[in-house]
Amino acid sequence: MDTCIDFTLPQGASGARLRQRFGAARAVWAAHAPGEVRAVLDAAEDAARAGAWCVGFVRYEAAAAFEPALATHAADGPLAWFAVYDEALPWEEGSTGDAAHVAWRSSLQREDFNQAMARIHEAIADGVFYQVNYTAPLHGELLQGSAEALFAALLRAQPGGYAACIDTGDEQILSVSPELFFDWDGRRILARPMKGTAPRGATPEEDEALAERLRSAPKERAENVMVVDLLRNDLSRIAEPFSVQVPRLFHTQALPSVWQMTSDVQARTRPGTRLADVFAALFPCGSVTGAPKVAAMRMIQALEPHPRGVYCGALGVLRPAGVGRMHATFNVPIRTLALRGTQAVCGIGSGITSGADAEGEWREWQHKRAFVERASQPFELLETLALEDGAWRHLPEHLQRLQDAARHFSYPWSAQVGQCLDELAAAHPAGLWRVRLQLDAQGRARAEAFACAPTLEPVRLQLAAAALEDRWTQGEFVRYKTSRRAHYEAFAPQDPAVFDTVLFNARGEITEGTRGNVAALLDGRWITPPPACGLLPGVGRAIALREGRVREGMLRLEDLPRVQAWAFVNSLRGWLAAELELPR
């Protein structure tokens, strides 16, 4: 597997990227003991100043190489590793073979998470530290596909940051981190710590409201400011006097599954500063340790039983920048996987302050893991349409929804979509047909038609036996219709007499059915749950709202005995009278 990088250029033109791949390395330097780390960094810097490209990483466990008081576990690989290349090659978009499929399991149970949170809060109350970054690994098995295919899927799931794929021979590091550790041209240095997270909204209005809430939330702002203060202090160790500045605070950045808050801290470095000096001042980044750093890292070592590895360390590129000069850009390797054979590890975590609560942090972890869940199993975008006597029902609405999903998941849109629908309509000029339209990650479209019999009303509905987990109701595989439907299929009716199952979220709010939306007549008016409850807003639902037949309204489990009538709604079946059986 070729090493490659896809980095934002943080001090260049807006949107500019450094996208390169590398062939065979001229040399590889690795440090296996703390005393060897500085020498590896010096060698990489000297090679870049002499005109070479160097790509590599520093593990979180290398912290003691710069400050012996920084506690970590023993490393499970080289503390620092850099490969040297005589040239950078053009980025290539190519076939990666079979799509990757990874099965993940969490190493941390909710009860253990709650206990760790209690320990952290007790230490904060005792004045040991005021913030700590707590993490745990997800463990996965690569069931299908290659490391290249998995990296390509990760890039689609988390585009636009500081991505790199490194193959050391023993392991592959696949990083799609959105967080800049530092960008240094030998004179000016920029750090961009990332602290503060919120989920993306189900509608543009809700999305903007969540972003604004993140920007203004006291807990999130306090967490961000703590890290900014730590980075200011760290940078001052290598900065010219009075040059440390914070030109931007509380900037919200939209990622596919979450909003993140960043701030900029910059400075001018003192003449003679070396790359190893930069690491000695900043490493590990305060956003993944907490503050004060020494005390926070002691707590991390006590709470986390295994080494973090490259996750939460630093990964980056040194490139030539003129005679005797070089430019270094490193990410903080969050949203990063380590792959050894078929075994994968991906860390997930968050910063804990006195204002954090276990329930909120646990939800944040679920949001953060969405990127790896999206990348770990191939899926297609999906629309179900009605074709009646050769004419499409609500075609513009379906195409718009499919196009919105393609934009969200970075799937290419092609003319194939219209072509395959035209061909299908021409082949089925009479009768009612259920059409399944799918679009894959390469922009290939296909459509199939199935005979559709009339539905006898009222249809029978059942209530789900348990709540749909937050990671689904608050995730993108509910907001957008795809072929990844295991979370729906788990609740599908087993009794052929039952038409569909009515779902609800962990807050006890009704959401939707497994096959369409629902509406209820409550207190004399028809209501349908809003997208914020965690549901796919169907085309049939949109039509009913537009016609004024129904309005959005919250419907909770305790309201069900008062519901006077039910309806099932989707584009294929229309508005169907329904009956819901309540559990006794």
Catalytic annotation, pick one of 45, 148, 179, 380: 179
Strand order across the 574-581 sheet: 510-513, 500-504, 459-463, 574-581, 565-570, 517-522, 525-528, 551-552
CA distance 174 to 163: 8
CA distance 86 to 53: 6
- CA angle at 259 for the pair 192 and 371, rounded to the nearest 5°: 95
CA distance 279 to 37: 10
CA 248 to centroid of chain Cα atoms = 24
Distances (CA, A) of 503 to 201, 467, 484, 529, 549: 20, 7, 17, 11, 22
Catalytic annotation, pick one of 171, 195, 223, 368: 195
- 478: Cβ contacts below 8 Å, ≥ 6 apart: 468, 472, 487, 511, 534, 535, 536
Q: What are phi and psi of 99, to 5 degrees?
A: -60, 145
Residue type, 412: P
Strand bridging mode 459-463 / 574-581: parallel
CA distance 157 to 222: 29
* Under 8 Å between Cβ of 29 and 183: no
- Which 3 state secondary structure label does DSSP give 208? helix
CA distance 475 to 534: 8
CA distance 345 to 139: 5
* Under 8 Å between Cβ of 207 and 252: no
- Which 3 state secondary structure label does DSSP give 217? coil
Which candidate, 378, 382, 285, 290, places its Cα nearest to that of 334?
Answer: 285
Q: Find the radius of gyration of the CA atoms of the chain.
A: 26
195 annotated active-site: yes
b/e per residue, 152-170, with b = 16+ CB within 10 A? Answer: bbbbbbbebbbbbbbbbee
Task: Provide the token pair at 268.
Answer: 């001018």
Q: Name the β-bridge partners of 340.
A: 343
The CB density around residue 324, as the number of other CB atoms within 10 Å, is: 10
Burial class (CB in 10 A: 0-12, 13-18, 19+), 271: exposed
CA distance 453 to 436: 16
Task: Provide the token pair at 340.
Answer: 């050894």
Residues with active-site annotation: 179, 195
